[in-house]
Structure 1
Amino acid sequence: MNPESRVRPSTTAAVLPEDSRIPRSHPQSGATAEYDRYFHILRTPPDLCAWTRSCLGLQEAVLADLAHAPSLDDGQRADILTGLLYTSSATLASWLRTTPGPAPEHHEPFAGARPGPGRSGADQGDQSGVEQGDQPGAEQGDALRRWKLGHQLFHVLLATMNTVLDETLTAAQDNQGPSLVQGMERLRVLYDAATAAMTYASDVPTAAYQDEIRPSMRPPFVGPGFSGVFNREHRAMTIGMRRLRRAVKDLPPETGPVDEIRHAALSLDAAQSRNHSGHVKICERCVPSGTSLLRHHLAQSSPREEPLCDS
């Protein structure tokens, strides 16, 4: 053996994750993948550049359509705009925290995530795997477009909430009262924005929901039992909220400012209650029978209480 081979550095790099831990496998269920395809959600490795491009495109599409949503009041429009502002602010903060280094590689625009007016994602070169003909009809009307656009907005706001939740939970665990209060106040604003986004997504005539939107969430266009329970961001948010509540409850008595923490926690609970009430109203209007697609699918096989409606 050549003596130099024992001391010469290896030319093969060791691949180590940023968090210094073995990566976990996160297999996506067929139902979850189908949910993402339906709403034109593209899952990618963490990429701040792609996220930023997508958020800017979503913001442009929502702002162009927001004035045409007749049932939204000024307060709900303001909630959505504030939510978009908070998302932009959190994204900018993430850029500012980025470790200095070479400029990011060029990424093509995030095409196809938001179907244009009257066009399906497949018509616009959608990258999410939705082929032409996956949705009923060659043209998609404004109601179906708003339904999907509003859900994309909902997902982006939830992703922002999950980011703020991580920071707020850390503040609670470290007994950082002022940061905890600030985090809960931001979460309250984002919760109200998410509630308004749900209202915006469903701001369509009831007949359009029954005749155009609901059929698009049934076979043969998607599998049976399509439901909002497959929303990954919402699942992460509910887990994070439970952890935050426990952390706030377990705060040492000397953690202050006590009154501000209590007020922020109560305000956040109130925002969550408004979200639940808003969802119930949407379900009652869009699905008067109270039978969701998932509940209908599982009626014969599961006695469990299932979601009231489809989203």
Structure 2
Amino acid sequence: MTTTPLPLLHARDLPTTGGQLWSATAAVHALTAEQESAATEPEYVRLRRLLAPDRFEPAPPRETPSLENAFSEHDAFFGVARSHGPAEVFLRTLLVAEIDTALDLARTSSSLGPTERSRLVGGGSALLSHARHPGGGDLVRSPDVRAASPPDERTARLRWACGHRLFFAHLQAVTVTAACAAEAADAAEQAAFLDHTVLFCENAALAMRHAADFAPELYARSVRPTMTPPGVGSGFSGLQTRDHYYLVRSLEALRTRVLPAPVAAAAYDRLADALERLYGAHVHVCRHFGGDAGGSLRMEAGEEDSGTTGAERARQYAAMRVRRVRGTKRAA
């Protein structure tokens, strides 16, 4: 569905400490220090060319064959290549995904409001503008959408792919900032990282809504058929999302390492609320595309019990994940 793969770092190469993350932001800050913020198509293209890794080392398989095959099929469908490299690749590809989304917003009309569009493409800039690199402003800004055309079959497919790529990049940012929070030296630092985690949960929810921001009939006619054999294996599913698999593991590690201080506990509670909104966005997409009346592709392929609807299954799954996050959260 896309021609140029987005080289997202393999999750095991992502930064896991504040020091690693700030080294990555420093490298990207140095790379973009002389750049104007992007708000028009030529500016987007110039900035994308600067940020996109021109060479990257493919990441070798890291999981069992059955899991790796499922992850790889999902990556390939959405135009993602898993790379091995320095931590700055994480931030560079996040910004590239945001630029691609800005270009998509300029091309195809959106139901998101101005503030939502700005947040959708502003997460990478938020990291770059952290206290270590103040005054950077928004490197990627929401475009002028007045000339955007309504989605059609071609642009709906492009939006589905582009929105998912941004969603994956945001999930990586949740994983990174949650891991940094788990390793924080004190409660104030932990709360600061958790606030970034909340931001990226909310941005990921927006990315999911953006990916599905077109008419249900376009999905039924032009998108859903591409996610069935022979294009992909039977039962193609969001459960094949590699970045969500690692996000869950990162959050489970964080859960028992929240420091015993009110500021950290309050930040963790905000994270649990943000995760509920993130999973709620997935339920919204299921319902928008008819999931209240039928099953998911996985259920229709017989790989899950089909005694319920796709939207209800998504709600059950969301509730289970949020319950786990809201469980025991104090370090021993």
TM-score of the superposed pair, with normalisation by structure 2? 0.62
Q: Distance in 2 between matches of 1:205 and 1:83?
A: 27
**2:194 alignment partner, one of 165, 174, 184:** 184
**1:278 alignment partner, one of 278, 281, 285:** 281
Change (3 A) 1:182 1:54: closer
* 1:162 matches 2:175: yes
3-state SS of 2:121 partner? helix
The residue number in structure 1 matching 2:57 is none
The residue number in structure 1 matching 2:166 is 153
**1:70 alignment partner, one of 110, 114, 119:** 110
Instruction: Return the offset for 1:272.
Output: 1.0
3-state SS of 1:42 partner? strand
Aligned-residue identity in percent: 25
Once the two structures are overlaid, the 10-residue window that deviates more, 149-158 or 79-88, is 79-88
**Deviation digits for residues 133-169 of structure 1, max 9, x if unmatched?**
xxxxxxx710001100111101111112211111101
CA contact (8 A) 1:69 1:200 kept: no
**2:63 alignment partner, one of 22, 26, 49:** 26
* 1:298 matches 2:313: no
**Deviation digits for residues 10-33 of structure 1, max 9, x if unmatched?**
xxxxxxxxxxxxx99534532221
CA contact (8 A) 1:168 1:180 kept: yes
Is there any run of 5+ residues in structure 1 with no aligned partner, and where?
Answer: 1-22, 94-139
3-state SS of 1:213 partner? helix
* 1:37 matches 2:76: yes
CA contact (8 A) 2:228 2:236 kept: yes
The residue number in structure 2 matching 1:11 is none
3-state SS of 1:203 partner? coil
1:110-125 residue pairs with structure 2 within 5 A? Answer: none
Instruction: Return the offset for 1:76.
Output: 2.1
CA contact (8 A) 1:39 1:148 kept: yes
Instruction: Return the offset for 1:48.
Output: 4.9
3-state SS of 2:169 partner? helix
3-state SS of 2:235 partner? coil
Q: Which amino acid aligns with 2:287?
A: E
3-state SS of 1:70 partner? coil
Q: Which amino acid aligns with 1:267?
A: R
Q: Which amino acid aligns with 1:195?
A: A
**Deviation digits for residues 97-128 of structure 1, max 9, x if unmatched?**
xxxxxxxxxxxxxxxxxxxxxxxxxxxxxxxx
CA contact (8 A) 1:198 1:279 kept: yes
CA contact (8 A) 1:86 1:190 kept: no
Q: Distance in 2 between matches of 1:26 and 1:160?
A: 21
Q: Distance in 2 between matches of 1:306 and 1:246?
A: 34
CA contact (8 A) 1:283 1:290 kept: no
1:80-229 residue pairs with structure 2 within 5 A? Answer: 80-86=120-126, 141-171=154-184, 174=185, 176-229=186-239
* 1:266 matches 2:279: no
Change (3 A) 1:209 1:55: same
3-state SS of 1:287 partner? coil
Instruction: Return the offset for 1:55.
Output: 4.0
3-state SS of 1:44 partner? strand
Instruction: Return the offset for 1:50.
Output: 5.4
The residue number in structure 1 matching 2:143 is none
The residue number in structure 2 matching 1:79 is 119
CA contact (8 A) 1:149 1:201 kept: yes
Instruction: Return the offset for 1:209.
Output: 0.5
Change (3 A) 1:39 1:88: farther
Is there any run of 5+ residues in structure 2 with no aligned partner, and where?
Answer: 1-59, 134-152, 315-332
Change (3 A) 1:89 1:295: farther
Aligned length: 232
**Deviation digits for residues 47-86 of structure 1, max 9, x if unmatched?**
4565565444333221112243421122321321332324
Instruction: Return the offset for 1:237.
Output: 0.9
